[in-house]
Structures are given as structure tokens and as C-alpha cells.
Structure 1
Amino acid sequence: MTDHNNEHTTRRRGQGELETQVLAALRQAPEPVTAAWVQERLGAGLAYTTVMTILTRLQVKGAVVRERAGRSFKWTAVADEAGLAALRMRKVLDSGADREAVLASFVTALSPGDERLLRDLLAKPSTEEEE
């Protein structure tokens, strides 16, 4: 007999979900940490190689940096969850053949509230600092 409850708790996580979880773990770290530290925090039978793959992908996206620590590396988050989402959006925009069409399609799909928020953000001077 199949244990449906166990199947549900060991479901496969998607790449985006793993990236978010790895980034969250790094943001909680008191200092640069190893992949093994991240693996331990995430638990749930996550393989070390999977953690390394996600860390490397996050580095390529500019969301984390690494520094040499002996024969391995220590990792630090440089983006938060919103920054990671923005990096993903930028990647999609950069991969489109027609930037104007991609942006127009994105804007027309926004809810009225999100469209107002976007207009407000675009109206702010880019050098303005939040108080």
C-alpha cells in the first residue's frame, strides 16, 4: 500500500523554489558559509551536489558571491528574494527577440493596482533614496 502522506512530504521541489530557499538560508547566515552549511539548514534529504548546483546558478545570476576558503568556497547572498525575482524577470526580458513586445505584453497583463505601482515607481527619480 502506498503512503500518500509520505509522498506528499517528499515531493520534488522546483528550481525556483530551491533557489529561493537557498537564498533565504544564506541571508540568515551570520557570515559567509559553506555549501554543507546550507545543505544542513535545508535538510529534507537534499543532496550536496544539488545545493552546489543551485549556488552556482545563483552566482551566475548575480544573487550570491563566493570566496575561496581553503580547498572549497564560502557563499554570501547579495540579493534578497525580490532581487532574485527581478533577476529572473530581466533574464526573460533579455532572451526575448522583441523587447518592446515583451514589455508591452507584461504591462497589459498587470492588475490595475500593479500597473499604478509600476507607474509610480517609474515616475520616481532613479537616484532617490528611501528615508
Structure 2
Amino acid sequence: MMGMALLLALLLVFSFYTYFQVSQISEELTSTLDKLEQRIEEDQWEESTHLIENLQDKWERAILWWNPLMDHREIDQLDHAFIRLARLVNIEQKEDALVEVSLTRRMVHRIKDREKPILSNIF
């Protein structure tokens, strides 16, 4: 009985720690996406390019955490969204880049919500 309690405690601690990491990474990505959206709206393409580089660095760190823990299809879709976004910024396609920022932000939020340690996500 003591072993089961210890196992359950470890599982809970790991779940909350994982969610904390996912949440923190999601907030960093979202914050950068918000800044990027503002720079694109203002046609500040050089600054947008720098933010894309920053976003790609954050995404590479996020993959290290998220890949072993999450659905790989979602990770791949988000990866493709970041690639499309980078290209749209590079060719200065304002409207398409703004749409892609919104879609990418939504995907990040969805991943974060799916990792919440609540009953509806467990069952």
C-alpha cells in the first residue's frame, strides 16, 4: 500500500512539474508571438526578422521538453506553422504573416490547455 501511495505522489509531482514547464514555455512563445504581431502590423520587418530568430531559438528549446511528452502530430503542426511564419516574415507578406501568427498562437494555447493536470484531460 505504501508503494502505491509513493507511486501516486511521484506521478502527481511529475504531472505538475511537466505542466509548469509546458506553461512557462508556452508563455514565452506567446509573448514573442505578441511582439511579432505588433511589429508586423507596424511594418517593422527588420525587427520582425530578429523576433523570428528569437522565436526559433525558443521553439528549439521547447521541442526538447515537448517532444517526449506530447502528441507528435501537434508538435509537427506547430513546427510547420513556425516555418511558414518565418518564411512569410522573410518575404514581407503582412496579411498572411498576421494570420499565421494568430494560428500559431492558438496552437500553442491548445497544447498548453491539453497538458493541464485536470480530470477531463486524464479520461
Shorter-chain TM-score range: 0.3 to 0.5
Q: Please tell me whether Structure 1 or Structure 2 has the larger radius of gyration of its CA atoms.
A: 1
Q: TM-score, normalised on structure 2? A: 0.34
Q: Which has the higher contact order (CA 8 A, sep 6+)?
A: 2
Larger proportion of strand: 1
Q: TM-score, normalised on structure 1? A: 0.33
Larger proportion of helix: 2
